[in-house]
A and B are shown apart, each in its own frame.
Chain A
Amino acid sequence: MTTLTERPPATEPTRRSKPHTARREENRTGLALVSPTFLIVLVVVVLPILWTVVLAFQSVRLVDIQSQGLWGHWTLRNLERVFSSPGFWSSLWTTVVYTVGSTLGSILVGLVAALALRRPFRGRALVRGAMLLPYVAPVVAVAFVWQVLLSPDLGVVNHWGLNVFGWDRPIPFLTQRSYDVLGVPVPMALFTVITFETWRYFPFAFLFLLARLQAVPAVLEEAAVVDGTTPWQRFRFILLPQLMPVIALLSVLRFIMTFNKFDDVYLLTGGGAGTDVVAVRVYRFLTARFDVGLASAQAVVLAAVLIVLLGLYFRLWGRRAQEEES
């Protein structure tokens, strides 16, 4: 591109060949510059993923892997064992509930936060900085703080609950599977983990939504104010349509991230009390039994479910977007 600017007076054929070589040079440079990244991604991401798929169809434990070649016995036994193992289906269901709950929660809180912080006020920069803390802090540290906060014997939440709100006994937020709220059983630990995830990731949604909100032209709303609309109507009919594409993108991103999430749940509950998400199961199969084949099969199933769910989402969403257009 850049060499085009320098064009010496030349005869007809050379003028035609000049852009041609410039183009070829650009192509070569581009490929050369991109190749280190490509190599890294290939070696540390793409090949390992392909290998996982291969391992899923082999019966391998960590001890045999030294002797076994890449093309060992192919078998469907791992997949069979995954599907028939006790707890697989409930674990998958837990993962789905956890993911949907956390995704919705973080986007909703992020949206409310963005709307509240939209107009400037004294100290807004400080407040915005504070909002980002949960997202920035290391997961290990925040998970432990939550554990202590919610602990039944020395946590401040239960202490206040007992003394200020008049609870009869401390609530074991992270260790109790189910808790009766007004006679309705609530999956307590799962609910707490979803709340944690909402808390940790609402800043992510908040950042995206705030940026988009600030790009909405002021004229639109001014006109609506003149027309005597209520704030809710302005949100519903002016802001929300503008935010929809960002919300859709956030939903997909958060869904994918949360679906594969390992550390948050592992650190908070260790996968106990009804929070046994698939990612934690993969880890357990790998480290407790060194059953590489089974762990791979489980991971592959998880990825497959994710792909199916995303496919469904895009199908439904794509259709709705088309309907709205027409």
Chain B
Amino acid sequence: MSRAAFQEKFFGVMRWVVIAVLVVATIFPFYYMLLLSVKPIDNLLLDPGRIWVSVSEFTVDSYRQVLTSVEDGGQGFLTMLRNSALVSIGAVVLTLLVAIPGAYAVSRLRFTGRREVSALFLGVYLFPATLLAVPLFVMFAKAGLQGSLVGLVIVYIAQTVPVAIYMLRNYFATVPVSVEEAAALDGCSRLTIIRRIVLPLAAPSVMATGLYVFMIAWNEFLFALLFLAAEPTHWTVSLGLQQLANGVEVPKTVLMAGSVVLTLPVVLMFYAAERMLTEGLTSGADKS
């Protein structure tokens, strides 16, 4: 067998081995999370190596404990889900409100300092959160925003605006200038053009950007820990889960149920966005 033919065969087989290993490596931890969340803790301790759950032992007790309110002896994750949702939706709305005009300006308009501003927005993306954590912590302590969800939203806007600008800028650049020019001929103002022409054309992309912002805000942990740790009624799910793990004698099965509750919304959204993103790209407006 020639060297080329041997390699052809070898890499042909390796390809499937690699795919199999990667699929197991990425999915197994999530499967394990789900598995443990529906198992009684005693069964887990008895046989930690068993990676399936029989019908007879299947239980939703862990979920019940996680979702029941604190007054009723549970962990109160429903309140935390609400907090996370409020903070994330707030971040999405405000970020898009600020980033859409900014991204449009950077991608379409020539103005003084355009290049510098554009570089700054990208540079901000790379600034370490640790550098921001200290002054924001101090600022919020001073302004009395410590422990408030509003404060957290403000920080999240700063975290997500650069990413949003970056994504939106690329999308806006694909909207054909000819369409805008036609609208301008019809007497539309710049803002009308953005609202009536650019946004509808880029709508799937704007949605995708919004969902990405949502994911960042939903998954964020450091600032939630810094600002909200002392305020249990304002905990987000991430923070609540971490505090739960720090507590004494919380069964791992309950912890895993909490992890599922934290993970599920964001993963569902991601898959919704993935489809939308591809649809938005394939049904492009300018097919001339």
Could you tell me which A residues sit within 8 Å of B by CB distance? Answer: 1-3, 5-6, 23, 26-31, 33-34, 36-38, 40-41, 44-49, 51-52, 55, 62, 65-66, 109, 112-113, 115-117, 127, 129-134, 136-142, 144-146, 148-149, 151, 153-156, 159-160, 163, 199, 203, 228-232, 256, 259-260, 262-263, 267, 278-279, 282-283, 286-287, 292, 295-296, 299-300, 302-303, 306
| Contacting residues, chain B, for A109 (C-beta < 8 A) | 22
Give per-residue flags for B227-257: 1 if the beta carbon is below 8 A from chain A beta carbons, else 0.
Answer: 0000000000110011001000000100110
Closest to B218 in A: A138
Among B53-61, B62-70, B130-138, B200-208, the stretch that binds chain A is B130-138
B158 and A141 contact, CB distance less than 8 A: no
B154 and A44 contact, CB distance less than 8 A: yes
Bound CA span A141–B141, Å: 28
- Given A55-B134, A144-B255, A260-B128, 6 new contacts (CB under 8 A): A36-B97, A66-B142, A136-B267, A141-B262, A156-B51, A231-B8
B102 and A33 contact, CB distance less than 8 A: yes
Bound CA span A137–B271, Å: 12
| Contacting residues, chain A, for B271 (C-beta < 8 A) | 129
Q: How far is the CB of B199 from chain A (nearest CB, A)?
A: 13
The answer to whether A232 and B133 touch (CB under 8 A), given A130-B26, A140-B238, A263-B221, is no
Closest to A267 in B: B242
| Contacting residues, chain A, for B180 (C-beta < 8 A) | 2
| Contacting residues, chain B, for A133 (C-beta < 8 A) | 26-27, 30, 267
Which among A38, A138, A145, A259 is the interface contact of B32 at CB below 8 angstroms? A145
| Contacting residues, chain B, for A37 (C-beta < 8 A) | 98-99, 101-102, 121, 161, 165
| Contacting residues, chain B, for A296 (C-beta < 8 A) | 134-135
Q: How far is the CB of B75 from chain A (nearest CB, A)?
A: 14
Bound CA span A283–B229, Å: 13
Which 5 pairs show the lowest CB-CB distances between chains A and B? A30-B111, A37-B102, A260-B128, A2-B184, A30-B109
A34 and B7 contact, CB distance less than 8 A: no
A156 and B32 contact, CB distance less than 8 A: yes
Q: Is B222 an interface residue (CB 8 A)?
A: yes
Bound CA span A231–B4, Å: 7
Q: Is B287 an interface residue (CB 8 A)?
A: no
The answer to whether A136 and B259 touch (CB under 8 A), given A45-B132, A299-B130, is no
A138 and B263 contact, CB distance less than 8 A: yes
B128 and A303 contact, CB distance less than 8 A: yes
| Contacting residues, chain A, for B3 (C-beta < 8 A) | 230
| B: interface residue count bin | 35 or more
Which among A41, A138, A306 is the interface contact of B219 at CB below 8 angstroms? A138
Q: Is B40 an interface residue (CB 8 A)?
A: no
Closest to B215 in A: A136
| Contacting residues, chain A, for B241 (C-beta < 8 A) | 140-141, 144
The answer to whether A199 and B25 touch (CB under 8 A), given A48-B135, A140-B221, is yes
| Contacting residues, chain B, for A129 (C-beta < 8 A) | 271, 274
Which among B48, B121, B126, B221 is the interface contact of A267 at CB below 8 angstroms? B221
Q: List 7 A-B contacts (CB under 8 A).
A: A36-B97, A37-B161, A41-B120, A52-B132, A62-B141, A133-B27, A137-B263
Q: How far is the CB of B218 from chain A (nearest CB, A)?
A: 7
Q: Is B73 an interface residue (CB 8 A)?
A: no
B111 and A286 contact, CB distance less than 8 A: no
B15 and A116 contact, CB distance less than 8 A: yes
| Contacting residues, chain B, for A6 (C-beta < 8 A) | 185
Closest to B12 in A: A231
A137 and B7 contact, CB distance less than 8 A: no
Q: How far is the CB of A40 from chain B (nearest CB, A)?
A: 6
| Contacting residues, chain B, for A154 (C-beta < 8 A) | 44-45, 48, 252
| Contacting residues, chain B, for A41 (C-beta < 8 A) | 120-121, 124, 158, 161-162
Closest to B238 in A: A140
| Contacting residues, chain A, for B267 (C-beta < 8 A) | 133, 136-137
Q: Is B86 an interface residue (CB 8 A)?
A: no
Q: Is B139 an interface residue (CB 8 A)?
A: yes
